[in-house]
Amino acid sequence: MDLHFIAAHLLATILAVLSYSSVGRSAVFKTGVLVAFGLIAGDLAASLVDHSISFDLATFGKRLPLDFAGGIVSSIVAVGSLPFLENLYGLITPFRLAELTDANQPLLRRLEENAPGTYQHSLAVANMAEAGAKAIYADANMVRAGALYHDIGKMVRPKYFIENQLGATNPHDNMAPEDSRARVLAHVTDGIALAQKYSLPKAIQDFIPMHQGTTLMAYFYHKACTKYGADKVDPNFYRYPGPKPNTKETAIVMLADVSEAVTHSMRDPSQEEVEAALEKVFQNRWDDGQFSDSGLSYEELQKVKAGFARVWRTLHHERLKYPSTTTGKMPIAPTVTKAEIIEENKEEKREDTEEIDPCLTATSFEPTGANSLQPEQKPEQKIE
């Protein structure tokens, strides 16, 4: 095989791999430029090393634009073909994840408009989940995207979820527990339908049912037990149908979802109280077997929990307390008129004049003009 071809493309490939450091379409073009220079450098090196080939500057000059064009064209082809390949094979690339987490995505805008409370909850879950993913070197970009879309189904019937009620009457107060179960359960099926309608990748769709897994709707289950008697209520009827999380990323979002809800409901908790609440949540999900298919170890679970606690501590750090009056309003500075300011300046000038040390003589001042103070002059003495 041609030595020029091997050297040029080997160096170009190495540069392409080493230059991959950021997510974005523009990063591909930058890599293409580096590949172009790699092709040129490799071609030149091969020409100089291969003694069997006399270095011909004219021939190399002809290959130079071809090498450079090869790098640029390869980046253009890569960027242009990615959307087609992503849709054709259901691929989810870092570029696609970056696009999905853009706040201007139509589905996220719709969620913000129709269910603002759920949207804010999803943002908080995304921040918490991302920190947990980084703690165990999971795919933080995937986790963030999945967290943003995990509750999109709530926009169909937003009033049945407390974060969207904004102080209004909770409709579940006047509903039978089995009816409430049906309404809440629908946010999963509604979410999957919306995800399919907006062509979300399958990997992102999985976060919608898996963030609930097969957990128990404890509130409605206990309400049913109180109303009908525990012996007449099947707990499995009040469980989500699943499936359970099958990756570390989906497991992290499950934990972030319930952790954010629990800590958000606490009134002015201390750091110790938050950590205790997180411990209870994590242990409950672990004991319930929700992570049996995720590959998440107990050691990793503790690291994720520590990441969540750091996020909470960052968002709820102690703030400066501003002074206030007994009325609860900020004190207002007294109004000062212009005349009062002028009079005050006159008083200050008079005080300054009176405070001059009488021991000072005119010789303490340097003459600066015709009207300046002059030192007292003594008559000259004649020397006889």
> pLDDT tens across 210-236, in order?
999 999 999 999 999 999 999 999 999
305 bridge partner residues: none
How far apart, in whole angstroms, are the C-alpha atoms of residue 5 and residue 20? 23
What's residue 372's pLDDT? 39
Q: Under a CB-based contact definition with an 8 Å cutoff, are residues 152 and 164 in contact? A: no
Q: Is the entire prediction scored with pTM above 0.75?
A: no
How far apart, in whole angstroms, are the C-alpha atoms of residue 315 and residue 332? 30
**Architecture per CATH, 96-315:** Orthogonal Bundle (1.10)
Q: Under a CB-based contact definition with an 8 Å cutoff, are residues 29 and 74 in contact? A: no
Average pLDDT over residues 42-71: 66
Q: Under a CB-based contact definition with an 8 Å cutoff, are residues 194 and 152 in contact? A: yes
pLDDT above 90 covers a percentage of the chain that reads 55
The helices-and-strands tally (H runs, E runs) of the chain is 15, 0
Q: Is a pLDDT exceeding 60 seen at residue 270?
A: yes
| 254, two tokens | 């499950």
Q: Under a CB-based contact definition with an 8 Å cutoff, are residues 248 and 296 in contact? A: yes
CA 88 to chain centre: 29
The lowest-confidence range among 16-25, 84-93, 370-379 is 370-379
More confident residue, 362 or 311: 311
What's residue 373's pLDDT? 39
How far apart, in whole angstroms, are the C-alpha atoms of residue 379 and residue 262? 96
Q: Is a pLDDT exceeding 80 seen at residue 49?
A: no
How far apart, in whole angstroms, are the C-alpha atoms of residue 101 and residue 109? 11
How far apart, in whole angstroms, are the C-alpha atoms of residue 123 and residue 112? 10
Phi/psi for 239 (5° steps) reads -100, 150
Q: Is a pLDDT exceeding 60 seen at residue 34?
A: yes
Half-sphere exposure of 352 (CA within 13 A, CB side): 6
Res. 43 pLDDT band, cuts 50 70 90:
low
Q: Under a CB-based contact definition with an 8 Å cutoff, are residues 307 and 132 in contact? A: yes
Instruction: Give me the residue spans of the domains in the chain.
Output: 3-91, 96-315
- Cβ contacts of 269 within 8 Å, gap of 6 or more: 263, 277
Res. 344 pLDDT band, cuts 50 70 90:
low
